[in-house]
């Protein structure tokens, strides 16, 4: 039939698919995420780097204990989606690292079934527990309905993994109370800290610039003995002011406050309050998945 989609073929990903796949990944982008780069895809697919990739600084790291990621791509007259998977723990645990298919239910199902067939034999299969293409999004966002339903239909159960946060940064926050903040540059990171009366660090944070105009609050923590004094809020404002002056206009972060009743000493409740007061909103709730046979 003229204008109908050709038969879908699922095959091993090659480098020629990367540019088109980046567009598929961008269709699932959360608020504040920068566009997917081919270099980031290369590091998250299991494709072997070339000398050119090394010269251009592509992200080539492995994740966890999985050594050989495989990626399958679904193609008709265009790239429809892809899934990345592998094994760990001596082959006993299978891992579906990421799946992107514009939330087309048929394509999601085809890719998931192909990955599960290749991971058969293992007692445990996990999904979205390792870093995805964007290491910050460690979990499946709750707006990915087709993927979530496909996992449930195949026996996976989900577990909450925190919130993806976003804040537009159109102007720097007002300075407010004066607070001496030390800043140290380490590569692409900026490490900020506040010292207590004895000179020891009582609050610290790390921020990074992900891409032009996009930044992330990697970490912020206040020593338990110094909480409740407003240090977290002041430090977060300092982070935002610094990122603004670095050209960042979109700020993201990951907050594992999904179980506020089980604060483990890292200040989950305080972090929830501080980020909300600083203007962050929830871009997505994240979940990991597991199936045991």
CATH of the domain at 86: 3.40.630
pLDDT at residue 228 in the model? 86
Query: Which of 97, 127, 155 is the endpoint of a domain?
Result: 155
Q: How far apart are CA 289 and CA 122, in angstroms?
A: 15
Domain of residue 244 covers: 167-283
Q: How far apart are CA 240 and CA 257, in angstroms?
A: 21
Whether 181 and 134 map to the same domain: the answer is no
Residue in the block written with tokens 């972060």: 253
Taking residues 132-139, what's their average pLDDT? 81
pLDDT at residue 257 in the model? 61
pLDDT at residue 41 in the model? 86
Whether 150 and 21 map to the same domain: the answer is yes
Whether 268 and 150 map to the same domain: the answer is no
Q: How far apart are CA 149 and CA 73, in angstroms?
A: 20
Is residue 162 included in any domain, yes or no?
no
pLDDT at residue 2 in the model? 41
* Residue 246, domain CATH: 3.40.630.30
Whether 193 and 94 map to the same domain: the answer is no
Whether 122 and 206 map to the same domain: the answer is no
* Average pLDDT over the chain, rounded to an integer: 85
Whether 32 and 146 map to the same domain: the answer is yes
SS3 20: helix
pLDDT tens-digit map of 154-177: 999 999 988 999 999 999 988 766
pLDDT at residue 259 in the model? 53
Is residue 87 included in any domain, yes or no?
yes
Kindly tell me if the per-residue pLDDT of 51 is higher than 60.
no
Whether 26 and 134 map to the same domain: the answer is yes
For the ranges 51-55, 88-92, 184-188, 279-283, which has the lowest average pLDDT? 51-55
Is residue 161 included in any domain, yes or no?
no
Helix H, strand E, coil C: the string for 160-224 is EEEEEEEEECCCCCCCCCCCCCEEEEECCEEEEEEECCCCCEEEEEEEEEEECCEEEEEEEEECH
Whether 96 and 203 map to the same domain: the answer is no
Is residue 4 included in any domain, yes or no?
no
């Amino acid at each position: 039939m003229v204008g109908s989609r050709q038969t879908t073929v699922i095959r091993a990903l090659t480098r020629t698919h990367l540019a088109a796949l980046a567009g598929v990944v961008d269709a699932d982008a959360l608020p504040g995420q920068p566009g997917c780069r081919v270099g980031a895809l290369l590091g998250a697919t299991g494709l072997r780097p070339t000398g050119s990739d090394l010269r251009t600084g592509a992200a080539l790291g492995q994740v966890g204990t999985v050594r050989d990621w495989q990626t399958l791509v679904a193609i008709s007259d265009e790239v429809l989606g892809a899934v990345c998977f592998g094994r760990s723990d001596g082959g006993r645990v299978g891992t579906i690292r990421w799946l992107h298919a514009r939330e087309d239910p048929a394509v999601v199902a085809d890719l998931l079934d192909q990955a599960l067939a290749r991971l058969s034999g293992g007692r445990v299969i996990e999904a979205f527990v390792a870093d995805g293409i964007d290491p910050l999004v460690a979990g499946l966002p709750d707006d990915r309905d087709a993927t979530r339903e496909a996992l449930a239909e195949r026996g996976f159960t989900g577990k909450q993994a925190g919130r993806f946060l976003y804040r537009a940064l159109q102007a720097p926050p007002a300075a407010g109370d004066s607070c001496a903040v030390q800043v140290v540059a380490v590569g692409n990171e900026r490490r900020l800290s506040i010292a207590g009366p004895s000179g020891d660090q009582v609050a610290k944070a790390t921020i990074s610039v992900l891409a032009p105009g996009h930044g992330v609050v990697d970490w912020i923590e206040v020593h338990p003995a110094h909480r409740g004094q407003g240090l977290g809020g002041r430090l977060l404002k300092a982070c935002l002011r610094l990122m603004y002056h670095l050209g960042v206009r979109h700020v993201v972060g990951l907050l594992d406050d999904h179980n506020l009743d089980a604060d483990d000493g890292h200040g989950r409740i305080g972090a929830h309050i501080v980020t909300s007061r600083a203007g962050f909103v929830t871009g997505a709730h994240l979940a990991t998945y597991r199936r045991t046979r």
